[in-house]
Chain A
């Protein structure tokens, strides 16, 4: 089946630093989604990407759909304490179910 490798597994950064995390797949995807999950909550959709090469921003967040359609990255600029949480990538091919990455646990030290 499809597999997603998400890295890094965890990150410890200082407030104000930029963050980058990425996902790679063994399969070609048509859609990439990035979610954030706070403790005790469900995942919240941050950014959706639909086209190879697409670069999309949502505030301090920027995500890109890789040209090969097998990878995506998420950048967070000027991190703040409320950025703490687990970030998940998810991808799918047409009509198939979503496949989730293993998550990146982000800790921001004030």
Chain B
């Protein structure tokens, strides 16, 4: 599997501010994804981070609220913009495909726990 790190691991933010979360992988991967996990809930896909082009967002998520970058095959960022308490969640980066990785097997980072006051 790939080794995935996320920064920050947790943060407490004021409403109206923005936070950028970084995801770094130790090897080149084909696919990178961003998920949200609200307290006590399952995982919801926010978007697929595409290298060199705009991210593909799922229904209910928009680029203005969750801008995503993916400058290369090992790194991506997710920004949570103009935050409100409803954005308090764990944000997870995941990866799939690449040398040494099987397609259809998705691996997750440790997550970023965000609390918005």
A-B contact count (CB 8 A): 47
CB pair A44 B42 closer than 8 Å: no
Q: What is the bound-complex CA distance between A16 and B113, given in angstroms?
A: 33
CB distance from B66 to the nearest CB of A (A): 16
Q: What is the bound-complex CA distance between A38 and B109, given in angstroms?
A: 13
Q: B58 within 8 Å of A by Cβ?
A: yes
Q: What is the bound-complex CA distance between A48 and B44, given in angstroms?
A: 20
Contact count band on A: 20 to 34
How many B residues have CB within 8 A of the partner chain? 22
Interchain CB contact (< 8 A) of A92 among B42, B104, B107, B110 = B104
Chain B residues packing against A (C-beta within 8 Å): 1, 4, 33, 41-45, 48, 58, 92, 94, 102, 104-111, 113
Chain A residues packing against B (C-beta within 8 Å): 30-31, 33, 35, 40-45, 48, 50, 88, 90, 92, 97-98, 100-103
Further pairs besides A50-B104, A90-B106: 6, Cβ < 8 Å: A42-B108, A43-B43, A44-B108, A48-B104, A92-B104, A97-B58
**A-B residue pairs in contact (CB < 8 Å), sample of 9:** A42-B94, A42-B110, A42-B111, A45-B1, A45-B106, A48-B104, A88-B43, A101-B42, A102-B41
